[in-house]
Amino acid sequence: MHYSRRTEEAYVHWCRAYIRFHGLRHPRDMGAPQLDAFLAWLATERKVSAATYRQALSALLFLYTKVLQMDVPWLAGASRPQTPRRLPVVLTREQVQAILTQLAGTWRVFAQLLYGTGMRLSEALQLRVKDVDFVHQTLVVREGKGGKDRALMLPQSLAPALRTQLDHAHALWQADAQAGCAGVEMPDALARKYPRAGASWAWFWVFPQATHAMDPRSGEVRRHHVFDQTFQRTFKRAVAMAGVTSQVTPHTLRHCFATHLLQAGYDIRTVQELLGHADVSTTMIYTHVLKVGGGAVRSPLDALAT
């Protein structure tokens, strides 16, 4: 059904947890009481967040309706708690620069790409050579969140470092071609439609892994893109070395991208398009810094000081 591998892994995890919670009973033999007991355990004992609760419920709904093909109105009607909207952590430009300074080589280029374009981590990891256009200074995100494509600016200051990164990737691609290794993973059914495309330079990763790994779907040994956990660990160390005490993750760079654009006076609709948000209300959350930190509202305490 074209779900991402992460979604598959999450759904399998919750289906296993549900079955094990009820002593390895088959889901066909369970109904509303067992579901309510499991969800109540998640909420009261495990104290999972609203987002985790909704994910577990979605996994069980998928299990019953798509896998077992059972009519389960009691499951479809289960309550779904609303995920509370949290204000994103936004760093100053000086803090972003301090973190980038602690990174080197490929990881610095990767972090600059996240901050300079607002890409999600997964979108940057899956960037292909063919989607980098130096002539038109454009980067294309293929099948982003919601399966949508979008075009982004290629930061001029990043172009030289990105060319160097492509030279490094090209050396790995040549080594794979000479060794007769399997090509990179292809989306959907393109591997069958274009059997040789996976081994072409155009479809190669911009940020390839240094070593080969087994494809979890096909079992073939091929070169994957760099692993997200590897960058996350490296980024966490850079944040600590930069002396930034905020709760920062690689996704924070996307928040900084949006907020800093709004602070620079760009239209919120433009920022919405760059981020790939379906609704402008999602983008509106980044205006909190403009309302408070930007000086739009003056504290009465400051008036006393004058």
Please give the class, per CATH, of domain 5-76. Answer: mainly alpha
How far apart CA 153 and CA 140 sit, in angstroms, is 9
How far apart CA 16 and CA 162 sit, in angstroms, is 43
Domain boundaries, the chain: 5-76, 85-306
Active site residue 108: no
Active site residue 251: yes
Q: What pLDDT score does 198 carry?
A: 85
Q: What pLDDT score does 85 carry?
A: 74
Single-letter code of the amino acid located at 244: V
Active site residue 286: yes
- How would you classify the pairing of strands 208-214 and 221-225? antiparallel
Question: E-assigned strands of 127-220?
Answer: 132-133, 138-141, 150-153, 208-214
Single-letter code of the amino acid located at 262: L
Residues 17-39: tens digit of each pLDDT: 999 999 999 999 998 889 889 99
How far apart CA 91 and CA 260 sit, in angstroms, is 9
Residues 268-294: tens digit of each pLDDT: 999 999 999 988 888 888 887 666 554
Greater pLDDT, 193 or 254 = 254
Single-letter code of the amino acid located at 184: V
CB distance 62 to 18 below 8 Å? no
Q: What pLDDT score does 183 carry?
A: 84
Q: What pLDDT score does 218 carry?
A: 75
Active site residue 120: yes
How far apart CA 32 and CA 43 sit, in angstroms, is 16
CB distance 68 to 28 below 8 Å? yes
Label residue 86 by pLDDT band (50, 70, 90).
confident
Name the active-site residue from 142, 145, 150, 224: 145
Name the active-site residue from 223, 254, 255, 260: 254
| Centroid of chain to Cα 244 | 22
Active site residue 192: no
Residue 264, token pair as written in the block? 């620079």
3-state secondary structure 169-198: HHHHHHHHHHHCCECCCCCCCHHHHCCCHH
Instruction: Kindly report the average pLDDT of the chain as a whole number.
Output: 88
Comparing CA positions, the residue from 255, 279, 292, 284 lying closest to residue 267 is: 284
The residue behind tokens 């209300």 is: 281
Single-letter code of the amino acid located at 109: V
Q: What pLDDT score does 5 carry?
A: 81
Greater pLDDT, 296 or 58 = 58
Instruction: Assign domain 85-306 one CATH number from 1.10.443.10, 1.20.58.1610, 2.60.120.260, 3.40.50.300.
Output: 1.10.443.10
pLDDT of residue 194 exceeding 60:
yes
Q: What pLDDT score does 290 carry?
A: 67
Active site residue 53: no
Q: Considering the entire predicted model, what is its pTM?
A: 0.83
Residues 240-267: tens digit of each pLDDT: 999 999 999 999 999 999 999 998 888 8
Label residue 297 by pLDDT band (50, 70, 90).
low
How far apart CA 211 and CA 226 sit, in angstroms, is 9
Name the active-site residue from 108, 120, 255, 260: 120
DSSP string, 122-136: HHHHT-BGGGEETTT
Q: What percent of the chain has pLDDT over 70?
A: 93
Question: E-assigned strands of the chain?
Answer: 132-133, 138-141, 150-153, 208-214, 221-225
DSSP 3-state of 88: coil
Query: Radius of gyration of the chain from Cα atoms?
Result: 23
CB atoms within 10 A of CB 29: 8
Q: What pLDDT score does 292 carry?
A: 57
Greater pLDDT, 245 or 75 = 245
CA angle, residues 9, 11, 14, in degrees to nearest 5: 110
